Amino acid sequence: MATATSTPRTSTHKPALAVFAGVGSVWVFVLVTLGAFTTSIGAGMAFPDWPLSNGSINPDGWLSDISMFAEHSHRLTGMMMGFITIGLAIWLWRTEDRAWLRRLGFWALGIVVLQGVIGGKRVTLNAIDVPFFHMSLGEMLRIPHGILAQVYVCLLIGIAAGCSRSWIERGAPVGAAVRQVGLVCLGLMFVQLVIAVTMRHNAAGLAIQTFPFSTPPPENHWLPAEWNFRVAIHFAHRVMAVVLAVALTLFAFVIRRDRASTAAMRAGASALVSLMILQILLGAQIIWTMRRAEMTTGHVVVGAITLAVTFWLTWVAHRDRIEGPAPLATRSRA
């Protein structure tokens, strides 16, 4: 019999845990938004120190200076995200019977700690030059920081889904096509993520300054007239956007055609197409407005949401392979 100090582990639905996991999966987008805005306005070095900001947790002037506000808000939000992740990992470890879900909690905790370290080193190593690169060592760390942020988003979405009542009480035995196309889309999205982060942090967002063509009128050529690394990575981002537009549309179509798809999955498929269209429009606006901060920030955030929806649909489609086809039985351990 469990005592007050020995909480039994079960695989039953825990409403409080589900809500807490849901809060974490929402709060992470606040962090992503502030991080994207900080980068968009070039405020990553608003403070030369870390973990404090100008030697304080409440630096003078941070509420009135936009660069200081963006960077310090990002740091405070990241600290809060760290506390949420610590609480989530401990809660899962103490109460959750499913080993895979406990492991996800610890993976999320590991990534949020690593993200904090990388974010700090981005500041403290900013002055160290790297031979043959135009970026300093600190600036180069922005690339893995941006990629890991999206992986972290997916982990939190996976945890929140696994804690939900719909996941625990019934599966979604969709066809193999939904699972396979979903995995392909996820792979393509992570390729695009690496390209996008590399482009963004190499200041290549305006390497091609016309859209949809790569040369200005009257030529209007699809291929750039001149090539260098920035042009190539920018053009690769556009090509992958076309590939993803086709792949995500196909994914949405396959989901809606599958009779076993739930109403939530069908709604997610429709949302995916809408997000994809919005993302393309925001990408065009970045070029047309010469990289206005609100457009670049919106593009990053909508991209993260699109990845999250794609991951969630694919994750739910694989639910029966993760948990087994039958509803979870209540189990406990001393």
Residue 28 shares a structural domain with residue 59:
yes
Q: Which two tokens stand for residue 41?
A: 């306005």
Q: Of 169, 193, 217, which residue sits at a domain end?
A: 169
Could you read off the pLDDT of 35-55 as tens digits, one per residue?
Answer: 999 999 999 999 999 999 999
pTM: 0.91
Residue 62 shares a structural domain with residue 32:
yes
The pLDDT value recorded for residue 132 is 73
Residue 333 has pLDDT above 60, yes or no: no
| Cα 154-157-161 angle, rounded to 5 deg | 140
Residue 231 shares a structural domain with residue 275:
yes
Could you read off the pLDDT of 272-312 as tens digits, one per residue?
Answer: 999 999 999 999 999 999 999 999 999 999 999 999 999 99
Give the single-character DSSP code of 9: B
Residue 333 inside a domain? The answer is: no
Q: Of 169, 194, 221, which residue sits at a domain end?
A: 169
Q: Which two tokens stand for residue 274?
A: 């809408």
Is the four-CA dihedral 241, 247, 252, 255 of positive or negative sign?
Answer: negative
- Report the distance separating Cα 299 and Cα 243, nearest Å: 17
Residue 248 has pLDDT above 70, yes or no: yes
The pLDDT value recorded for residue 322 is 87
> CB within 8 A of 117, min separation 6: which ones?
none
Residue 200 inside a domain? The answer is: yes
Mean pLDDT score across all residues of the chain: 92
Residue 85 shares a structural domain with residue 177:
no
Q: In this structure, are residues 276 and 249 in contact, taking their beta carbons and an 8 Å threshold?
A: yes
Residue 162 shares a structural domain with residue 194:
no
**Cα 7 to Cα 10, 15, 97, distances in angstroms:** 9, 16, 11
Residue 220 shares a structural domain with residue 107:
no
> CB within 8 A of 82, min separation 6: which ones?
112, 113, 116
7 band by pLDDT with thresholds 50, 70 and 90 = low
Neighbouring C-beta atoms of residue 42, cutoff 10 Å: 12
329 band by pLDDT with thresholds 50, 70 and 90 = very low
- Report the distance separating Cα 287 and Cα 135, nearest Å: 23
- DSSP H helices, the chain, are 15-40, 66-95, 99-124, 137-140, 142-163, 165-169, 176-201, 229-257, 263-288, 293-317, 319-323
Residue 192 shares a structural domain with residue 149:
no
Q: Which two tokens stand for residue 52?
A: 């404090």
Q: Which two tokens stand for residue 81?
A: 């995200």
Residue 237 shares a structural domain with residue 203:
yes
Range of the domain at 60: 8-169
In angstroms, how far is CA 251 from the centroid of its own chain? Answer: 19
Residue 195 shares a structural domain with residue 54:
no
Percent of the chain residues past pLDDT 90, beyond the cut: 85
Residue 228 inside a domain? The answer is: yes
Domains of the chain: total: 2
The pLDDT value recorded for residue 278 is 97
Residue 200 shares a structural domain with residue 319:
yes
